[in-house]
Structure 1
Amino acid sequence: MGPTLLRWLPPSLEDLSEPAAAHTVRTAALIGGEKALDLLAGYVGDERLEVVNELIKAWNYFDADAYADRVLCRLPLAGNLVAINHPGQMRAAARLRELTGAYVRYPLRGPKALADLPPLRVLWVDEVSEAADRSVLSGHPDLMDLTLSVTKALRGGAALADLIRLRWLTTRLPEDLDLSTLRDCRDLADISLSGVAEKDLSPLTTFAGLRYVDLSGSGRETLRGFDDLREMHGLRFLRLEGVDIDPWLRRVRNLPSTLTDVYLANCVVPPDPEVFLRFPNLKLLAVDACRTSDGTPVAAPYIPGTDVRIG
């Protein structure tokens, strides 16, 4: 039935609206096969956003090399995020010289494969399953958005400090990274760090440009060094997960008035909600799966002027 339907698809998309053209690309991709690939290759040149996005997503339905050579290498990939779903696509992606954004959605055994990709501006990696050396990132000096989900030990943390154009960073905190070296990343606005338990976070408090900070621990440890926030003039959103915030809340000082949204997940929180009054301009407090030190689930505290949400 599929190949028969191909006969009803137009050889050109120029007479179709953008939604109709995107739907046509999607239909050809779902049918698959050599004739569908011929048709999709003929659609290259239509640079409407929805059409280009569907042509990129269609890669998953065809041989990785054939589709990369006949379609992807001819698309305006700059500024688009291309999903890489298996090793065959990773090998083919190395030939896509206009590639600037990659989303690696399969578990990498290690990050070495990333070294073969063309210089990227956006890199998201869902999982690195073995101990990782981030020195391979030196081949991507223009990275602006980096998400590297790693659960094993990390090395090569100094490579992060060389990514001076970073704006968004999500990663496990490397053992060998001095956070103060990230000061050269002057555009860094959003940072999400896991594995922060008992790590010295004091350098973060000197980053005036940070807008969003997300810190994750492993259970009952508290934050260390994240105590005096007087220099964090741009901080608006703070998310904490898997940490004991009771001692931190009692000693933190100079909370900025710009900080309006606080999100707590799986944290140990103080039983007295009055400690949250220390936030001078708190508009939203979201609490999910949190408890007091004796294991009591947290009920919604009343904080004047604050929207409190319990997950």
Structure 2
Amino acid sequence: RAKINIQSVGYDQSNTMQFLEGKQLIGQILSDFPTKGALCFKKMKFSVILDIGCGSGDLTRLIAQLIPHDIIIGIDNDTNMVTFSENNNPTPETISYVCQDISQPWYQLAPELTRLAGQVDLILSNMTLQWVTDIETVCKNFEYLLKPWGAFYLSVMGIKPISISREEQFLKRQKSIAVQMTEIEEILNRDELVVGRSELCHNRCQYSAEEFEAMAPIMYKMYENLINQDEFSKLDKIGQDAVRQEIRNGVLAQYGFDVENEGENYVFGSGKRAWFCYDVFTIEGGKTVGGRS
């Protein structure tokens, strides 16, 4: 997974969209595994829940409030985020945090995780896997961690293709969002994992100017994974800065729009409210018993 190194306080102020998507993911889990009401014949409880890419911990704490459980482990590869989660918010006794890149091979994972092999009831990952470059290893780790019939619920932000000059030279081949979704599904559907449901949605979230401008650098970093470093490294600093600026412009053209002037891109420093327009796909499934027949 790419090293993000986001300022945790700034992220916490600009994660409105992520939190809203996470609430929807929790709602789907509660719909599929009701804990009360006419559809609940016995109290549903997850012994072990993993929150992959827990960020500031806001969603982890909401999971703890809404989903019956014994323990929840929030996992993030950014030490700043983990420290922020532990130190700046009241944390229920059932929650612990681990600083870990979940895309590392199994034998390199923290013992707090490897000791859970075959014991995890639920893996939830909200708006995180778009940062990961090695999805295959992540999915294999999910397979090792989940118990038979354990479930996974994933929401992934689609990376919209952007346009820059000399695109073929300085950017890796960009994929449509539908292709991104299909590729993750195909990887999940190998061996003992199976996808039960998937959906692609086009959403938007309104931000203040301050919130949007705090979030924009995070989006720029997501596109740094697409830079063709072999060609990019041949440029001098001026040339590299020019390519980075084109990427920033391309990102704003795809994601940021003026609330007051529908259809017009957001202008940095304008002080106006902004629409953040994005695509998200949700993928839900579980681990089969004894592999596929």
Band of TM-score, shorter chain: under 0.3
Higher-helix-fraction structure: 2
Q: Which has the higher contact order (CA 8 A, sep 6+)?
A: 2
Higher-strand-fraction structure: 2
